A = this chain, B = another copy of it.
Amino acid sequence: MDEIYQFLENNQQTILSQLIEFLRLPSVAAKGDNEIMEKTAAWVTDLLEKSGLKAQIHETEGIPIVTGHLDVGAQKTLLYYDHFDVQPAEPLELWESPPFEPTIRNQRLFARGAADNKGDTLSRIWAVKAFVETGTDLPVNIKFLIEGEEEAGSPNLPDFVKQNQDFLRADGGIWEFGGAESDGVQQAWLGLKGLLYVQLETRKVGMDAHSAYASFLPSATWRMIWALNSLKDENEKVLIEGFYDDVQPLSDPELEVIQNTEFFPDFLKEYYHIDTFVKNMDCQQLKNNFYNEPTCNICGIGSGWQGPGGKTVLPAEAMAKVDFRLVKDQEIEDILRKLRNHLDSKGFSDIKIAWYEGYRAAKTPVNHPFVDVVRKATLAIHGHEPRIHITNPGSGPLYLFEDIVPMVSIGCDDFDSRAHSPNESVPLSLFFLDIKRQTKIIDEMGRTN
């Protein structure tokens, strides 16, 4: 492996320049700019080809999916899942440097997508390239699946996975994200919560009206407030009938892992500038919530006048974006139906579910041999075993792969990477170290039976 490590060392400047080029592409899936998304897909395809993989662009109903593969006739196959799209960068005014003008400060590279997930995408391709360019035999076959709609709910991934089960089948898979926790320890995530994201809308009068008429005109804004209020009480309990029906208790092996997983409540409080967690939870409750509590969060709400000063208006319409994080066995369509029933039964038939998207939760068993591969590679490169989390509270289309490849999520970010927030960044040292770890995972996977 020394030759490979030396190759990566020698190419740091090239890799960094390439990451900066990748991050300059404002590939926000939610913005619906097909031109930039296709340009980014082409950029990724080109990189795969230049790295010795066979790449292909697959048209979908939305943004194309890119695959790459390098079949060396090995017994085992490693699959990488990544995405070349990024979250919207707003609110822009909170960025210290523009989100799509990558900037290095304090040994960190700041840009939208640096941590989620362009840094990882690039690092994994370079890991394979290192084998290829140094003429080192790859001990496993490599496959990449790189989509462009992950931050928009992966609407076209289910069909693609269904139609390409054979291509995607693998003995182990590395999921898109991960990195160091606040104490510097690497984390490995074995699952993802599910997600149901809905946009609620209502319109009560034909036009924005003078607020003097509030004495007789119905208000879309009030309807939305009351409807949202009916969804969750001040003690964080979701009030939708049957919402918790399918929530399963954690298994014994999971509970054992959790018992040993270190948590840092004081750090979290300091980092997020909060005095207490919701429900004033202690550390044990925090763990339980983190791993196995479904949530109901408002991602956004908007109605009426939000500018400066006091416009006296009764808004014609109101909109809210709500996301539910779901745990294993809660099904999207079932929760959606329960939400609709709830709204109807509470008298909110006027609140429309304008659109929705989501995935169900999925987990890789804690005792799967591929988890050990990641553990050993991390120990070899980072000098310590990764902290195993039975699931991550975030979401993604992991469930699609549940029956065809055991996935573990690791990556190059750290506690301060601010994925989905302004000033997203990746620490350069961990970015380069992660490329090395990916080569070690390939090596380690080849050694196991």
Interface residues of A (CB under 8 A from B): 29-32, 87-88, 90-91, 94, 151-153, 193, 195, 197, 199, 204-219, 221-222, 225-226, 228-229, 232, 234, 268, 271-274, 276-278, 281, 286, 289-290, 293, 295-315, 318-319, 321, 323, 325, 347, 357, 392-395, 418-422
Decide if B306 touches A212 in the complex (CB within 8 Å). no
A228 to B315, CA, bound (A): 16
Within 8 Å by CB of A216, from B215, B286, B296, B323, lies B286
Q: What are 24 A-B contacts defined by CB distance under 8 Å?
A: A32-B309, A88-B305, A88-B311, A90-B305, A91-B208, A94-B207, A193-B212, A206-B272, A207-B418, A209-B420, A211-B420, A212-B394, A214-B323, A215-B295, A222-B232, A222-B297, A225-B229, A225-B298, A234-B347, A299-B311, A300-B303, A300-B305, A302-B302, A302-B306
Residues of B within 8 A of A318 (CB): 301
Decide if A272 touches B209 in the complex (CB within 8 Å). yes
Known: A232-B222, A311-B87, A321-B305. A273 touches B205 (CB 8 A): yes
Decide if A229 touches B232 in the complex (CB within 8 Å). no
A299 to B146, CA, bound (A): 44
A206 to B418, CA, bound (A): 12
Decide if B310 touches A395 in the complex (CB within 8 Å). no
Q: Quick one: closest B residue to A277, CB to CB? A: B216
**Shortest distance from the beta carbon of A129 to any chain B beta carbon, whole Å:** 30
Decide if B208 touches A309 in the complex (CB within 8 Å). no
Residues of B within 8 A of A30 (CB): 307-311
**Shortest distance from the beta carbon of A36 to any chain B beta carbon, whole Å:** 14
Q: Quick one: closest B residue to A357, CB to CB? A: B310
**Shortest distance from the beta carbon of A20 to any chain B beta carbon, whole Å:** 24
A225 to B223, CA, bound (A): 11
Q: Quick one: closest B residue to A273, CB to CB? A: B206
Residues of B within 8 A of A217 (CB): 272, 274, 277-278
